[in-house]
Structure 1
Amino acid sequence: METEHHHHHHHLPLFLCMFVFIYLLARFVVFRNWSPKTRPEASSCLISLAHGTPAVFLAARAIILDPTARRRFASPNTAFQNLVLDYSVAYFLTDLVHYLVFFPSDVLFIGHHLATLFVFLTCRHVVSHGASAVLSLLILAEVTSFCQNAWTLSAARRNDVVFAARLYDFLSPPFYALYSLVRGFAGPYFVYRMAAFYLSGAADAVIPRWVWVSWIVVVLTAISVSILWITNLWIELYRERIGKLVKKIS
């Protein structure tokens, strides 16, 4: 166990360098012609793209390859699961610095990133168990990532680029629907399964109560905020479409 730990310590700095590099590439090359107002957000989107979809595949692979992970949220972390946790920690640290520098007043996102980092880091370094549960949550959180980033980038330019406006209008309903399904149904159901497992005491020997309780609190908070966010977007979309209809009629 100890050798395995030493062996896998070098992933985090490597991943951190990778995300910082992608961020700087976005800022100074990819989005260099964008306005100073939209450039930071777009750069954050690009590292989110680099993290989200690969994280879904990596996490799925890490869970499938773990012979003890099925139906058990107390299994010891495998070396590969720890690598996936490091990959996500590197992304969230990079994005956290981005928010602290450019949007220090965005307390919601900073809080979200800190809470997410707390869950990943306690799973990775404090208890070294439960990665199959935490990585399942990562999949649920990031499965909509590609759609969301494309939507956010098009939203940022919808007022000055015709294609962006078209993409935004085209993507909004399916993205909202997918996001609603994941955060409104799949997420809460999974958290219910997780809570039932931990409350049964099945993990008490390897995951202290304060750890799993805090994980569930963090996830429930994140899901609640997500549901509020998407509800507001649905209302906005509805108003917009009604407004367009009224204009057409009159």
Structure 2
Amino acid sequence: MDILSLKTPNYLPLFFIMFFILYLIAYFILFRTWTWKLRPEASSCIISLAHGTPAVFLASYAIVSDPTRNFDSLNTSFQNLVLEYSIAYFLMDLLHYLVFYPRDILFIGHHLCTLFVFMTCRYMVYHGAYAILVLLILAELTSLCQNVWTLASARKLDVKFAAKVYDLLSPPFYALYSVVRGFMGPYFVYRMVVFYLSGVANNVIPKWVWISWISVVVMAISVSILWISNLWIELYSERMIKVEKKIR
């Protein structure tokens, strides 16, 4: 079947406008009483919440509803829609970083690389959405916990409830994040590498494309593991300090 005949409406502009409006609502209304320093990060958390958990359910349905799903299968219309939903979010969050944190090269680079993967899958090769959406699910499984944790962390010094939420949520969030990024993610990437190295997908997904995908994902997972490792160390140090204070 001709790929051109499978073209579906592009909802990317609509999704981007939705995230943009949500960001403005969060920044100027929802967090209007927060300091100017905290409002951008909090607004970013809100659009992340609007993307993360819904993306998990949407991507899961997009995968399950495709009976021919495989690492090189043709994208379905719904899979393309989910990709557009995520592309819109990352474009909006990239704009957020460029405006408020232009020196945060790590996150800007992360978003650019992620956009490269999503956009080549959606608009260039038209195949491989199954693999990309599984990775999206793994990446966003911890989104709800992470964003609540981030918001609590931002106010833990001046709001007692936020401090309690932060302390209560940290261990389970770190544990879930560690399992997903430290074990489930690497295992799925291993399966991708084995499949693509076989050469089966080379006629629909050029070698340089899937190598780029793998490289981006490996870098993202590596940074994630380093990040969560540092958080575990900080948590351990904080708990040890509390124990020492009690003993004294």
Interval of TM-score (by shorter of Structure 1 and Structure 2) = over 0.9
Post-superposition offset of 1:3: 4.6
Unaligned runs of 5+ in 1: none
**Residue 115 of structure 1 aligns with which residue?**
113
Partners of 2:168 and 2:26 in 1: CA distance = 25
User: Runs ≥4 in structure 1, deviation > 6 angstroms?
Assistant: none
Instruction: Tell me the amino acid that sits aligned with residue 228 of structure 1.
Output: L
Post-superposition offset of 1:115: 0.2
**Residue 39 (structure 1) aligned with residue 39 (structure 2):** yes
Unaligned runs of 5+ in 2: none
**Residue 67 (structure 1) aligned with residue 81 (structure 2):** no
**Residue 8 of structure 1 aligns with which residue?**
9
**Residue 19 of structure 2 aligns with which residue?**
19
**Residue 180 (structure 1) aligned with residue 178 (structure 2):** yes
Post-superposition offset of 1:202: 1.3
Identity among equivalent positions (%) equals 69
**Residue 153 of structure 1 aligns with which residue?**
151
Partners of 2:232 and 2:128 in 1: CA distance = 35
Partners of 1:57 and 1:149 in 2: CA distance = 17
Partners of 2:115 and 2:76 in 1: CA distance = 19
Instruction: Tell me the amino acid that sits aligned with residue 90 of structure 2.
Output: F
How many pairs does the alignment contain? 246
Post-superposition offset of 1:4: 3.7
Post-superposition offset of 1:45: 0.3
Instruction: Tell me the amino acid that sits aligned with residue 222 of structure 1.
Output: A
**Residue 170 (structure 1) aligned with residue 173 (structure 2):** no
Secondary structure, in 3 states, of the residue corresponding to 2:109? helix
**Residue 80 of structure 1 aligns with which residue?**
78
Partners of 1:29 and 1:180 in 2: CA distance = 34
Post-superposition offset of 1:8: 1.3
Which deviations, in whole Å up to 9, do the C-alpha atoms of 1:37-59 show, x marking residues without a partner? 11000000000000000000000
**Residue 221 of structure 2 aligns with which residue?**
223
Which deviations, in whole Å up to 9, do the C-alpha atoms of 1:73-116 show, x marking residues without a partner? 00000000000000000000000000000000000000000000
Partners of 1:15 and 1:237 in 2: CA distance = 37
Partners of 1:8 and 1:136 in 2: CA distance = 23
Partners of 1:74 and 1:188 in 2: CA distance = 19
Which deviations, in whole Å up to 9, do the C-alpha atoms of 1:169-195 show, x marking residues without a partner? 000000000000000000000000000
Partners of 2:130 and 2:9 in 1: CA distance = 18
Post-superposition offset of 1:60: 0.3
Which deviations, in whole Å up to 9, do the C-alpha atoms of 1:180-213 show, x marking residues without a partner? 0000000000000000000011111100000000
TM-score (normalised: structure 2): 0.98
Instruction: Tell me the amino acid that sits aligned with residue 211 of structure 2.
Output: V
Partners of 2:123 and 2:25 in 1: CA distance = 31
Partners of 2:44 and 2:5 in 1: CA distance = 36
Post-superposition offset of 1:2: 2.9
Secondary structure, in 3 states, of the residue corresponding to 1:96? helix
CA RMSD in angstroms, aligned pairs only: 0.7
Partners of 2:191 and 2:9 in 1: CA distance = 31
Partners of 1:217 and 1:2 in 2: CA distance = 29
TM-score (normalised: structure 1): 0.97
